[in-house]
């Protein structure tokens, strides 16, 4: 491996962990050494990285010495227990779980939106929720120009957001349905194949789900504006990879459709696909495996003043998770913070 930084991936055998290995390689991150951590049942497995085989270590019994950056994607409970341990040993933890996102002294970072926030880290940086990441990448340039007052959002989230078991469940249920066999559900409370579940995360006393409130609270924190009003409905759909969102936003200053297209076409990390006459608009199957956030169906909301509607799609495993984490690591290197 090339000279550079000592990295660790925690949750290395999961769907996002695998994507982290791939992203580090594709972006040629300056890796000096790379360690892989997972649960005891994955101990001893090997993962290939740039032609080398890396043996998976048991997180519960391993030592965490000489690690510069640790990319976590192992769930909130694991992050709460082990992230502080890595940080105390000198690593900067970039955590993909919800464990620290709303902690006051933990930066919640999307490099295209609030790169300056990494400078405030105290050993842990939070990676936002996948739906939040693609949302703020698309709307922040519009907020800068016209200031967003209110948003109404519906998400259509793929099963890979739940993890590998959910991917298997959708595939199995689809095969069983097409072959006339009885369907069983273990990951989700209902059948996901050929179905929609308006239920992501636990329901709160307000009637909203945890996932919906993540969109509300994380958007405000990243964009550093608590005055933005957000109403969200999150839906799980039978798609393997890529989350989609309908967003209607109301701005203080008027924006024409042409202005929105122009602003977003010139924005970092955004690709505008917006030609309905030719059936050109973002699609989950096309976004899968891509790094950018795709925006289309841009149109005036005729029911309100200064209101625009759009359709936003991105690969939730890449920009929604692994890529954003690696981009944060790149920021740390660029700013000399590691």
Catalytic residue among 121, 143, 234, 243: 243
73 is written with which tokens?
């994607």
Q: What are the backbone dihedrals phi and psi of residue 325, each rounded to the nearest 5 degrees, phi first?
A: -65, -45
The Cβ of residue 97 has, within 10 Å, a number of other Cβ atoms equal to 20
Has 116 been annotated as catalytic? Answer: no
CB 309 within 8 A of CB 295: no
Catalytic residue among 116, 121, 130, 234: 130
* Angle (deg, nearest 10), helices 323-334 and 15-26: 50
Q: Is 163 left (phi over 0), alpha (psi -120 to 50) or beta?
A: left
- 3-state SS string over 53-102? EEEEEECCCCCCCCCCEEEECCCHHHHHHHHHHHHHCCCEEEECCCCCCC
Q: Which residue has the tokens 């519906």?
A: 154
Give the C-alpha separation, 303 to 227, whole Å: 22
Q: Is 252 left (phi over 0), alpha (psi -120 to 50) or beta?
A: alpha
Distances (CA, A) of 169 to 43, 158, 175, 211, 263: 25, 12, 10, 21, 40
Q: What are the backbone dihedrals phi and psi of residue 271, each rounded to the nearest 5 degrees, phi first?
A: -125, 125
Q: With 0-12 CB in 10 A as exposed, 13-18 as middle and 19+ as buried, what is 147?
A: middle
Has 234 been annotated as catalytic? Answer: no
The strand pairing partners of 144, in sequence order, are none
Give the C-alpha separation, 304 to 135, whole Å: 21
How long a stretch of residues is the chain?
338
| Helix (H) / strand (E) containing 307 | strand 307-314
Catalytic positions, please? 130, 243
């Amino acid at each position: 491996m090339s000279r550079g930084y000592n990295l660790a991936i925690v949750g290395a055998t999961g769907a996002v962990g695998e994507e982290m290995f791939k992203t580090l390689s594709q972006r040629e991150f300056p890796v000096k050494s790379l360690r892989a951590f997972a649960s005891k049942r994955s101990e001893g497995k090997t993962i290939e990285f740039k032609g080398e085989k890396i043996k998976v270590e048991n997180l519960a019994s391993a030592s965490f010495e000489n690690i510069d950056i640790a990319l976590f994607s192992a769930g909130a409970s694991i992050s709460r227990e082990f992230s502080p341990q890595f940080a105390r040993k000198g690593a900067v933890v970039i955590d993909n779980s919800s464990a620290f996102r709303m902690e006051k002294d933990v930066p919640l970072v999307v490099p295209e939106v609030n790169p300056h926030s990494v400078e405030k880290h105290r050993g842990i940086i939070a990676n936002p929720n996948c739906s939040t990441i693609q949302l703020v990448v698309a709307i922040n340039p519009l907020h800068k120009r016209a200031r967003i007052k209110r948003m109404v959002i519906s998400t259509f989230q793929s099963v890979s957001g739940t993890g590998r078991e959910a991917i298997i469940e959708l595939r199995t249920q689809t095969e069983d349905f097409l072959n006339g066999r009885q369907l069983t559900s273990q990951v989700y409370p209902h059948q996901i194949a050929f179905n929609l579940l308006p239920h992501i995360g636990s329901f709160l006393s307000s009637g909203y789900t945890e996932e919906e409130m993540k969109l509300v609270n994380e958007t405000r924190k990243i964009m550093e504006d608590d005055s933005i009003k957000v109403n969200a409905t999150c839906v799980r759909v039978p798609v393997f990879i890529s989350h989609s969102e309908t967003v209607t936003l109301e701005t203080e200053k008027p924006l024409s459709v042409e202005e929105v297209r122009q602003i977003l076409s010139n924005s970092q990390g955004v690709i505008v696909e917006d030609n309905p006459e030719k059936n050109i608009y973002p699609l989950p199957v096309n976004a899968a495996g891509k790094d950018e956030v795709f925006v289309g169906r841009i149109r005036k909301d005729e029911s309100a003043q200064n209101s625009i509607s759009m359709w936003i799609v991105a690969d939730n495993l890449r920009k929604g998770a692994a890529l954003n984490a690696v981009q944060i690591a790149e920021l740390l290197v660029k700013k000399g913070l590691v």
